[in-house]
């Protein structure tokens, strides 16, 4: 999920020869015996390069623009596809992150763009689109909602609408002639990861789902965890007053969300957002674990040891919850050094981090885990088709 506050810190070449008349072709009798009756090999199909293709789709009042990254492939070949589902807050198709709770990087990482490029290099088409909270009306900024009435916000930006957007994105991708409809996947990040079980439950044609840094508990618990992390982080940075102020704000928001869960909230905005938006998120978050447990298709759940937004204990709770699930072979991992932005911080002592310690790209461990998971289940899809 998007950080609430950041501390300051980032041909083959064909050769044609015009050498006179070609010699006469040898007769069948003069050919080597081993080649007689052997059918001519089919000419190789042209190889198409990796490329980005604009792709948009309509959803009610919204037209959502996006980019489909296609891998290098043979002409006419259909490839498996992954649809990326955003984290919370206004997010563009590139998923730009500047840090995480209590830790600014000092630079930007286009997380979803880099993930798309990495997976395309491994043979997957990847679709990423601008979230409905990111548009010209707000310049993709947190502060851009104030001109819209809360009644419209609570309907158009409810978490259920993000689910429907992701499903419409899947349909737009599946309609492309380059895509193998038998090999479709969702990959959600943060809040989007929490939505993946719901998406798989709604769309049985999707082979498997990837949950990157997904909370297990509702945001009331997550904000309490973030409150403690912010207090520690800014205190270690020598900013005790800021540490207390921001920790109190997050703790107060967590308490307000608990009132929403109990149905006793009085209706005031929470962290600048109307309570109806939070309520829709809480409802889906409560459903996600049970839906995940009952899925008949596999999930990959990944988190990082350096994630301050969704702490490792959330991923460990997913592991305990899904352990022994008899319906699907789920995989849950906490990856060493990985942050909420999926990059790696190589300095193990969090009090001594410098910019040189902060990776500027997605961790290779993340890419490797995601690729292995996709390869395993894309291969199963091919085997299933061969057995029909």
Residue 83 lies in a domain: yes
Tokens of 146: 């104030």
What local confidence, expressed as pLDDT, does residue 35 receive? 47
* Burial of 88 from C-beta contacts in 10 A (0-12 / 13-18 / 19+): buried
Residue 275's alpha-carbon distances to 157, 290, 297, in angstroms, are 12, 24, 33
What local confidence, expressed as pLDDT, does residue 386 receive? 41
φ and ψ of 50, to 5 deg: -60, 140
What local confidence, expressed as pLDDT, does residue 326 receive? 72
What local confidence, expressed as pLDDT, does residue 151 receive? 73
Q: Which domain holds residue 212?
A: 48-217+276-386
Instruction: Give the sign of the dihedral formed by CA 138, CA 141, CA 147, CA 149.
Output: positive
Residue 16 lies in a domain: no
Residue 124 lies in a domain: yes
What local confidence, expressed as pLDDT, does residue 33 receive? 44
CA distance 369 to 122: 12
Q: What is the pLDDT of residues 203-226, one digit of tens each?
A: 999 999 999 999 999 999 999 999
162, 164, 225: which is closest to 189 by C-alpha? Answer: 162
Q: How many domains does the chain have?
A: 1
Beta bridge partners of 332: 301
Contact 230, 238 (CB under 8 A): no
Q: What is the pLDDT of residues 56-93, one digit of tens each?
A: 999 988 899 999 999 999 999 999 999 999 999 889 99
Beta bridge partners of 123: none
Residue 185's alpha-carbon distances to 47, 210, 303, 370, in angstroms, are 24, 8, 19, 11
What local confidence, expressed as pLDDT, does residue 140 receive? 78
Residue 118 lies in a domain: yes
What local confidence, expressed as pLDDT, does residue 272 receive? 86
Residue 251's alpha-carbon distances to 88, 122, 235, 242, 244, in angstroms, are 19, 43, 16, 14, 10
Low-confidence residues of the chain, pLDDT below 70?
A: 1-44, 136-138, 142-148, 150, 380-388
79, 80, 78, 52: which is closest to 66 by C-alpha? Answer: 52
Residue 33 lies in a domain: no
237, 274, 271, 280: which is closest to 252 by C-alpha? Answer: 271
Alpha helices in the chain (DSSP H): 111-120, 150-156, 159-174, 191-202, 219-236, 240-262, 275-293, 312-322, 364-386
Q: 10 Å Cβ neighbour count for 53?
A: 13
What local confidence, expressed as pLDDT, does residue 61 receive? 84
Angle value at C-alpha 289, between 306 and 166, nearest 5 degrees? 80
Query: 195-231 burial, b if ≥16 CB within 10 A, otherwise e?
Result: bbbbbbbebeebbbbbbbbbbbbbbbbbbbbbbebbb
φ and ψ of 199, to 5 deg: -65, -40
Beta bridge partners of 103: 100
Angle value at C-alpha 21, between 17 and 23, nearest 5 degrees? 100
Residue 332 lies in a domain: yes
Residue 84 lies in a domain: yes
What local confidence, expressed as pLDDT, does residue 368 receive? 98
What local confidence, expressed as pLDDT, does residue 153 receive? 77
Residue with tokens 């009085």: 266
CA distance 315 to 129: 26
Contact 174, 206 (CB under 8 A): no
C-alpha 10: how far from chain center: 21
What local confidence, expressed as pLDDT, does residue 21 receive? 39
Tokens of 184: 């479709």
CA distance 60 to 139: 20
Q: pTM of the predicted model, to two decimals? A: 0.85
CATH number assigned to the domain comprising residue 335: 3.40.50.1820
What local confidence, expressed as pLDDT, does residue 380 receive? 56
Q: 10 Å Cβ neighbour count for 166?
A: 25
Contact 120, 371 (CB under 8 A): no
Residue 297 lies in a domain: yes
What local confidence, expressed as pLDDT, does residue 236 receive? 92
Residue with tokens 């849950």: 332
User: 3-state class of 75 per DSSP?
Assistant: coil
């Amino acid at each position: 999920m998007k950080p609430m506050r950041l501390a300051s810190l980032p041909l083959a070449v064909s050769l044609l020869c015009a050498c006179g008349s070609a010699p006469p072709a040898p007769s069948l009798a003069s050919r080597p015996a081993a080649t007689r009756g052997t059918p001519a090999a089919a000419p190789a199909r042209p190889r198409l390069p990796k490329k980005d293709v604009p792709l948009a789709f309509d959803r009610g009042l919204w037209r959502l623009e996006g980019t489909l990254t296609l891998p290098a492939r043979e002409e006419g070949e259909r490839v498996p596809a992954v649809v990326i589902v955003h984290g919370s807050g206004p997010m563009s198709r590139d998923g730009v992150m500047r840090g995480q709770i209590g830790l600014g990087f000092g630079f930007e990482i286009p997380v979803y763009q880099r993930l798309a490029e990495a997976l395309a290099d491994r043979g997957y088409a990847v679709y990423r689109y601008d979230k409905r909270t990111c548009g010209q009306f707000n310049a993709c900024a947190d502060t851009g909602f104030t001109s819209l009435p809360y009644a419209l916000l609570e309907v158009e930006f409810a978490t259920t609408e993000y689910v429907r957007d992701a499903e419409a994105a899947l349909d737009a991708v599946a309609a492309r002639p380059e895509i193998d409809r038998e090999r479709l996947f969702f990959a959600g990040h943060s809040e989007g990861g929490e939505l993946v079980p719901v998406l798989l439950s709604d769309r049985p044609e999707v082979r498997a789902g990837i949950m990157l840094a997904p909370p297990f508990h509702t945001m009331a618990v997550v904000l309490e965890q973030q409150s403690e992390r912010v207090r520690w982080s800014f205190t270690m940075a020598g900013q005790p007053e800021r540490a207390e102020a921001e920790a109190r704000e997050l703790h107060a928001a967590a308490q307000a969300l608990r009132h929403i869960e109990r149905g006793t909230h009085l209706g005031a905005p929470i962290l600048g957002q109307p309570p109806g938006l939070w309520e829709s998120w809480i409802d889906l978050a409560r459903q996600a674990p049970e839906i995940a447990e009952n899925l008949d298709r596999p999930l990959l759940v990944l988190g990082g040891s350096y994630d301050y937004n969704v702490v490792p204990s959330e991923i460990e709770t997913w592991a305990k919850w899904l352990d022994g699930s008899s319906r699907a072979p789920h995989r849950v991992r906490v990856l060493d050094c990985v942050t909420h932005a999926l990059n790696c911080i190589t300095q193990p002592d969090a009090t001594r981090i410098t910019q040189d310690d902060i990776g500027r790209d997605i961790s290779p461990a993340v890419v490797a885990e995601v690729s292995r998971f996709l390869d395993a289940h894309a291969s199963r899809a091919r085997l299933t088709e061969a057995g029909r």
